[in-house]
Amino acid sequence: MLVADSTRATPLETQGFTTKQIHYNLPTTRLIEEAVRRNEGWLSRFGAFIAHTGQHTGRSAKDKFVVRGPIFGHEIWWASPYQQELEESKFETLHKDVLEHYNNKEAFVLDCFAGADMRYRLNVRVVTENAWHNHFARNLFIPCPYADTPLFTPNFTVISAPSFKANPERHGSRSETQIAISLKRKLVIIVGTSYAGEIKKSIFTVLNHLLPAGNVMPMHCSANIGKQEDVALFFGMSGTGKTTLSADPERDLIGDDEHGWSDDGVFNFEGGCYAKVIKLNPEAEPQIYKTTRTFGTVLENVVFDLQTRELDLNSDKLTENTRAAYPLTNIENARIPSIGGHPKHIIFLAADAFGVLPPISKLTPEQAMYYFLNGYTAKIAGTEKGITEPQASFETAFGAPFLTREPHVYADLLREKIQQHGTQVWLVNTGWSGGAYGIGNRISIKHTRAMIRAALNGQLEHSQTIQHPIFNLAMPLEINGVPNSVLNPRDSWANSEEYDVQAQKLAGMFAQNFKQFEEFVSPEVIASAPKN
């Protein structure tokens, strides 16, 4: 048996593995060499590693299961459409079969951390049968510095086996794909999918369960920090612009996707970024574009020329959900360590497929709770299997697929922290204007950046606003660099009566979805709902 690159890791054999070859904590160059040697992908012209993931080009949200054990069962939000119950015996059978699957295979092991703040971080071990998956995890988590850690003991282990096919009858799965989480065993098993995003999102799910008990708010958001040490958070589901809008050359990047808010401030869960790159514009998104041409970046499902190895970032031949995974150090203005103070501003991002919501509006604390719990957006093509075009969607807390506890647990935590630190909340529509999807146009990144900068630099603090007649949102009348007609969505439509119909339709959807939360919130929050 070959043991490589670490003598200070807890042996994999103690976790039941009997593989023929184990690679512990290989550096980036070694992992890329192994991935190429094993024909797992290709190198692009500029050295980024390209991997194609087959039929799964996004998360398989309906294939995620949580084991219902005697300790954790009563704490799980079982009403969630993303929380499927798995019998403990089925999980044990899956675990046993996956360990046998690893016999006579190579195993790549990464010992790493989730959480830049040492007081709250989780020791994570990632075991993969593919070298490129381990490379992906190395980019997205925080690798363990063994010089400072005599012996790494994992708090949670993720086992990825994409070539293993789950059996619904034997393993309690829905299909051949399964993401199974046992909070009792402190173990995640991912089978039947090569989409690397499942690895990072499984640990995000675990943190969503563990951290609230310590008064830490886990958040599906990006974060950056200005020259005055002012922190801004950007909440939103995949495809709403979290990564793009937080990568601002005028502000330092804390992180692009997953953060915690403790009694001391904000900290990144990750050590890297996972950005969508479909139709990436080098002028509008220069920092992210540069990473696609950088050695060490992992490019998922990006189309390229096999002879010249030139990338075609505009092609959606494989999926709309093309991705780049790269370490934070690839962003020139990244804040390392990725920690900041309490946020001064929070921005809720919604890619409104109806073309109804204002491009930017200022929320009251009550409205903030209402829009946080509703989490309205559109599912963007390719972010989940089977989604081929945007669909109106409500995702609680802008992260429903990753929540394990009842939604009011997260909402109450956020409300308390907003009140304690005087944080201002904004709603920003990164979706459509001038009509619904297919008729109107996507709001330009240039205009969205101008609106957000105006909010963050204080320009909008005392600006004149008007109230939206249906959603009762405070809309600024003027913002430097943004046409006034863009700021009021009704004015952007050719037919204002058609706009009113769409607005009433969306308001009705908001009201219907929020009924599930009414027993947990104050009358003031309920009263902040749109009029329909």
**Residue among 138, 323, 335, 345 flagged as catalytic:** 323
Flag whether pLDDT at 2 surpasses 50: no
Apex 447 CA angle, 228 and 495, nearest 5: 145
Provide the pLDDT for residue 384.
Answer: 54
Q: Is residue 6 flagged as an active site residue?
A: no
Indicate the range of 12-16, 61-65, 412-416, 466-470 predicted with least confidence: 12-16
Q: Is residue 276 flagged as an active site residue?
A: no
**Are the beta carbons of 259 and 266 closer than 8 angstroms?**
yes
**Residue among 64, 125, 135, 220 flagged as catalytic:** 220
Mean pLDDT value across residues 39-52:
98
**Residue among 23, 90, 138, 201 flagged as catalytic:** 201
The pairing of beta strand 432-433 with beta strand 441-442: antiparallel
**Residue among 244, 257, 393, 528 flagged as catalytic:** 257
Model confidence pLDDT, tens digit, residues 455-497: 999 999 888 999 999 999 999 999 999 999 899 999 999 999 9
For the CA atoms of 42, 46, 49, 52, what is the dihedral angle to 10 degrees?
-60
pLDDT category at 445 given cuts 50, 70, 90 is very high
Flag whether pLDDT at 31 surpasses 80: yes
Q: Is residue 238 flagged as an active site residue?
A: yes
Q: Is residue 220 flagged as an active site residue?
A: yes
Higher pLDDT, 114 or 18: 114
What's the chain's length in residues?
A: 532
Model confidence pLDDT, tens digit, residues 502-512: 999 999 999 99
Provide the pLDDT for residue 521.
Answer: 95
**Residue among 90, 242, 276, 468 flagged as catalytic:** 242
Q: Is residue 242 flagged as an active site residue?
A: yes
B/e letters for 169-202, b = 16+ CB within 10 Å, e = fewer, are eebbbeebbbbbbbbebebbbbbbbbbbbbbbbb
Helices (H), ranges, 318-440: 365-374, 407-421
Name the residue ranges covered by the structural domains of the chain. Answer: 3-39+62-194, 217-270+337-527
Mean pLDDT value across residues 205-223:
97
CATH (one of 3.40.50.720, 1.25.40.10, 3.40.50.300, 3.90.228.20) for 217-270+337-527: 3.90.228.20
Flag whether pLDDT at 28 surpasses 90: yes
Provide the pLDDT for residue 3.
Answer: 36
Rg (CA), the chain: 23
Flag whether pLDDT at 150 surpasses 90: no
Percent of the chain clearing pLDDT 90 (strictly above): 84
User: How far apart are alpha carbons 430 and 352 in whole angstroms?
Assistant: 7
Flag whether pLDDT at 438 surpasses 60: yes
CATH number of the 3-39+62-194 domain: 3.40.449.10
Provide the pLDDT for residue 1.
Answer: 30
User: How far apart are alpha carbons 517 and 97 in whole angstroms?
Assistant: 41
Flag whether pLDDT at 387 surpasses 80: no
**Are the beta carbons of 83 and 179 closer than 8 angstroms?**
no
**Residue among 173, 202, 205, 243 flagged as catalytic:** 243
User: How far apart are alpha carbons 35 and 137 in whole angstroms?
Assistant: 14
Q: Which of 418, 372, 417 is nearest to 397 (CA)?
A: 372
Residue 98 DSSP one-character state:
H
Provide the pLDDT for residue 247.
Answer: 87
Question: Could you tell me the two tokens for 517?
Answer: 């939360």
pLDDT category at 25 given cuts 50, 70, 90 is very high
User: How far apart are alpha carbons 424 and 489 in whole angstroms?
Assistant: 22
Nearby residues of 100 by Cβ (< 8 Å), 6 or more positions away: none
Do the domains spanning 3-39+62-194 and 217-270+337-527 agree at the CATH topology level?
no
Mean pLDDT value across residues 509-531:
94
Q: What is the pTM of this model?
A: 0.93
Residue at 240: amino acid letter: T
- The SS3 assignment for 338 reads coil
pLDDT category at 382 given cuts 50, 70, 90 is low
Provide the pLDDT for residue 20.
Answer: 82
Q: Is residue 243 flagged as an active site residue?
A: yes
Provide the pLDDT for residue 4.
Answer: 39
Provide the pLDDT for residue 75.
Answer: 84
Indicate the range of 237-251, 324-338, 412-426 predicted with least confidence: 237-251
Q: Is residue 93 flagged as an active site residue?
A: no
Flag whether pLDDT at 5 surpasses 70: no
Higher pLDDT, 160 or 2: 160
Flag whether pLDDT at 519 surpasses 60: yes
Nearby residues of 498 by Cβ (< 8 Å), 6 or more positions away: none
Flag whether pLDDT at 65 surpasses 70: yes
Indicate the range of 77-86, 185-194, 255-264 predicted with least confidence: 77-86
User: How far apart are alpha carbons 273 and 289 in whole angstroms?
Assistant: 13
Average pLDDT value over all residues in the chain: 93
Nearby residues of 283 by Cβ (< 8 Å), 6 or more positions away: none
What one-character-per-residue DSSP string does 180-194 give? Answer: EEETTTTEEEEES--
Q: Which of 255, 10, 45 is nearest to 127 (CA)?
A: 10
Model confidence pLDDT, tens digit, residues 257-311: 999 999 999 999 999 999 999 999 999 889 999 999 999 999 999 999 999 999 9
